[in-house]
Amino acid sequence: MERTDRILTPVVDTHAHIFRRDLPFIPGVRQDFKRDFTTEDYLAELDAAGVRYGVVAAASFLGTYHDYTLSALERHSRLRATVVVDPDVSQAHLRELDRAGIIGIRFATGNMAAPPDLRSAEYKKLLRAIADLDWHVHVYGRREHLPELLSALDTSGVKIVVDHFGARDNQSGIDSESFRAILSTMKNGRTWVKLSGPYLSDSLDHRELTSRFLAEAGSTRLLWGSDWPFVKLNGHLRYSQAVDWLAEWVPDEGIRQQIDVNALELYRFPRPS
């Protein structure tokens, strides 16, 4: 049944993954998905929940392969996406991706011993190109990686989006160095945090984290994402639960409406009438 309760239903889902099991996963990735999670599956979830727009987050296990995502964007104007690229990607290819509906790149460093050196010449060139396109850099990293990643990105001048409360584990709470780094970077006016994926840090109080983000940086710095199809849970969660969490974390409807506005602007969606 389609949801009609606007109080609980956001306009933009800023984080989901779409893929088939026959796509070229990067070598060494454990692949135990029980089924495909297709573009059509995702759109059906959006429609059932009454969510208008969706953003496909680059899946780390697909590496720089993004043909399936580009096909989805070509067919559905209600979608945007981020991609993973090599640091030496050509500016011509980035402009091509921009025309296709890509609005950012993703650094997912969870399986890396060390994050990429974003202060190197090749990454400085990439980040300059990203800034020129008015894209953002979408970050999901281990807590020990975040302070340096955020510092380098902040220095570069790009827009930054931090995934999943910036909390990949249960040690990334309010008193952690990584959380303090996120709060500091949010104050630059170019950084947003996604309220998403609470099961990735299930011992933390996500309403408390949200309240701290609001107190330190304000409502214009937040986004909401479902994290469908809940890869870490192998799809074992209802999309409606992810929608309901937003109202639990942010009881104030006016703030939730501002979170919608943030997403519409950042991801270049037309405002609904």
Give the chain as a 3 state SS string.
CCCCCCCCCCCEEEEECCECCCCCCCCCCCCCCCCCECHHHHHHHHHHHCCCEEEECCCHHHCCCCHHHHHHHHHCCCEEEEECCCCCCCHHHHHHHHHHCEEEEEEECCCCCCCCCCCCHHHHHHHHHHHHCCCEEEEECCCCCHHHHHHHHHHHCCEEEECHHHCCCCCCCCCCHHHHHHHHHHCCCCEEEEECCHHHHCCCCHHHHHHHHHHHHCHHHEEECCCECCHHHCCCCCHHHHHHHHHHHCCCHHHHHHHHHHHHHHCCCCCCC
Q: What's the pTM value of the predicted model, to 2 decimals?
A: 0.94
Q: Residue 5: its pLDDT value, please?
A: 45
In angstroms, the CA 37 to CA 21 distance is 8
Decide if 78 contacts 51 (C-beta within 8 A).
Answer: no
Phi-psi region of 235 (alpha: psi -120 to 50; beta: other; left: phi over 0): left
Q: Residue 6: its pLDDT value, please?
A: 43
Q: Residue 8: its pLDDT value, please?
A: 61
Domain range holding 186? Answer: 12-266
Cα atoms in the Cβ-side hemisphere of radius 13 Å centred on 134: 6
pLDDT per 10-residue tile (average), the chain, 273 residues = 54 97 87 90 97 96 96 98 96 97 92 86 97 96 88 96 90 86 93 96 94 96 97 86 96 96 97 83
**Number of domain units in the chain:** 1
The reply to whether 3 falls in a domain is: no
Q: Residue 254: its pLDDT value, please?
A: 95
Owner of token pair 């994402």: 225
Q: Tell me, what CATH number does 188's domain have?
A: 3.20.20.140
The reply to whether 271 falls in a domain is: no
Q: Residue 152: its pLDDT value, please?
A: 96
Q: Residue 173: its pLDDT value, please?
A: 81
